[in-house]
Amino acid sequence: MSQPLRWHNGRQSLRRRLLTTLLVPLTALLLLNSLITYIGALIYANHVHDVSLVDDTLTLVQMMATKSPDGQVAPQAKFLLEYEPEGRNYFSVFSAKHGLIAGHAALKPPGGLFTDGMAPQLYDIQIENHAMRAASIQMPNPREAGDQLEVTVAETLRDRHLEARQILLLSIPAQALLIIAAFLLVWLGVNTSLRQLEPLTKQLANREHDLAPIGDADVPVEILPLTRTIDGLFARLRAMLALHERFIADAAHQLRTPLAGLSVHAERARSTSDQATIQDALDHIQRLILRANRTSSQLLALTRAQTAGHDAGDTQLLDLATLIPELVGQRVHEALAADIDLGYEGPAGPLLIEGDCHRLQEMLDNLIDNGLRYAGRGSLMTVSLDREGDGICLAVEDNGPGVPPAWIERLGERFFRVPGSEEQGSGLGLAIVQRIAEWHNARVRYKSASNTSGLRVEIVFPQYTQ
């Protein structure tokens, strides 16, 4: 079976990473469970031995009361009380009047131990560097009135720890089998779950030029962010391919006429020896070359203007009150050559937007070119800036022949030229303006010029706010 998610060249696979991530906590869980089991077993062993220790103490008390007429412990009882395979246990009998009667002198109950009558008391004690557990009880001396006996039996902790370890060793195999079974189930679950990605992988591998969305059907919830990201990438690729196809179609459409004219006038120049005819053909060829060059430049500008979205670093803070007069000043000489009075009006204060300087220059150049081409000689053209609510309005107005109201709504369409216009153009200038304005989240308005028959184009930019 294929392993579509396994990395080659020594890189870790997703499957291995998932299993490793699960195995480490399972191992830690086994260790923690073993510790908890040992502590629980030790608590249980302590309880059982404490009960047995109290029973041994009560048994010794009973022996002292019924079978020891002289207050001494029989040798057989002493042997049983002190016997331990790996060492010994201890006992002691202290009299309030006579001191130690029997047993080990170091095994004396601490002062203040007995506060609730005759009940046995359990406590920890250290004897000969051995940690021990002891049980003590008070009883009246059956052989001497007015005397109190303190009977104590103690044992080492070895048996308690040994029993706890035995319980732990008995439980570890069962716990290990449980962890192994859980790990195998996790392995099976991971493999089964990852197999759900194989149809998606095969579907993408079998695609050649299909950029249709994958969609959410039959896609696991955990993979939806990935598939939606891929769908977003496909959408951007489709938009880019559509833009390229449109550019090719537009170029073919717009360059067909100039190229056909070039062919006709080149044939004219070749088929005659008349210098006037040749010169006229060459003049036409030069004009057609300039037209084709402008058309191709505007097609490229339109394609750049149609690129979607702002990437990081595309925009910067711009002061239109400084930038626009500078850009207008660069076109004054062309306006003078065309016999058009080009001027600027605007406030002195800063007018800040977030934008791209090169795109704004291209937009303004197309607006000015449109006026230079269609306003006519002796016309007046004014570029102005003003605040408009929360925005900044950039306007280019001329007093030329203008555009009939019936056609104003179509300005900004690709390749649209006002019917009856004698000037040759590509119909792309205002389309470029429209796209660059959209790129800046600005609005474009086309109006008749105030108090004249000319055209006024307004672009309202959102003002920069901190």
- How is the chain split into domains, by residue range? 1-195, 221-305, 316-462
The C-alpha angle with vertex 214 and arms to 210 and 220, in degrees rounded to 5, equals 150
Measured CA to CA, the distance from residue 406 to residue 268 in angstroms comes to 41
Measured CA to CA, the distance from residue 152 to residue 136 in angstroms comes to 4
Task: For residue 54, give the H/E element and its range.
Answer: helix 14-66
What pLDDT is attached to residue 68?
53
Q: At what angle do helices 275-305 and 224-270 cross, to 10 degrees?
A: 170
Q: Are 341 and 380 in contact (CB under 8 A)?
A: yes
Q: Are 387 and 223 in contact (CB under 8 A)?
A: no
Beta bridge pairs of residue 393: 386, 460
Q: Are 72 and 142 in contact (CB under 8 A)?
A: no
Per-chain mean pLDDT for the chain: 77
pLDDT-derived band at 2 (thresholds 50, 70, 90) equals: very low
Measured CA to CA, the distance from residue 2 to residue 6 in angstroms comes to 9
Segment 53-56 long-range contacts (CB within 8 Å, at least 24 positions apart): 53/122, 53/133, 53/134, 53/135, 53/153, 53/154, 53/155, 54/120, 54/122, 54/135, 56/81, 56/135, 56/153
Pick 415 or 189 by higher pLDDT: 189
DSSP class per residue in 104-139: -TT--PPTT---STT--EEEEEEETTEEEEEEEEEE
CB atoms within 10 A of CB 54: 17
pLDDT digits (tens, 9 = 90+) for 372-405: 888 888 889 999 999 988 899 999 998 888 787 7
pLDDT digits (tens, 9 = 90+) for 29-45: 878 888 888 898 889 88
- The pTM (predicted TM-score) of the whole model is 0.45
CA dihedral 141, 66, 151, 159 (to 10 degrees): 180
Q: Are 459 and 394 in contact (CB under 8 A)?
A: yes
Q: Which structure tokens are listed for 258? A: 């100039």
Secondary structure of residue 44 in the 3-state scheme: helix
Task: For residue 234, give the H/E element and its range.
Answer: helix 224-270
What pLDDT is attached to residue 217?
66
pLDDT-derived band at 298 (thresholds 50, 70, 90) equals: low
Tell me which CATH homologous superfamily contains domain 316-462. Histidine kinase-like ATPase, C-terminal domain (3.30.565.10)
Q: Are 325 and 361 in contact (CB under 8 A)?
A: no
- Is domain 221-305 given the CATH code 1.10.287.130 in the classification? yes
Q: At what angle do helices 357-374 and 429-439 cross, to 10 degrees?
A: 150
Fold identical between 221-305 and 316-462? no
Q: CB-side exposure of 242: number of CA atoms within 13 Å?
A: 10
Measured CA to CA, the distance from residue 149 to residue 464 in angstroms comes to 97
Pick 250 or 233 by higher pLDDT: 233
What pLDDT is attached to residue 62?
78
Secondary structure of residue 197 in the 3-state scheme: helix
Instruction: Check pLDDT > 60 for residue 254.
Output: no
What pLDDT is attached to residue 343?
92
Pick 226 or 351 by higher pLDDT: 351
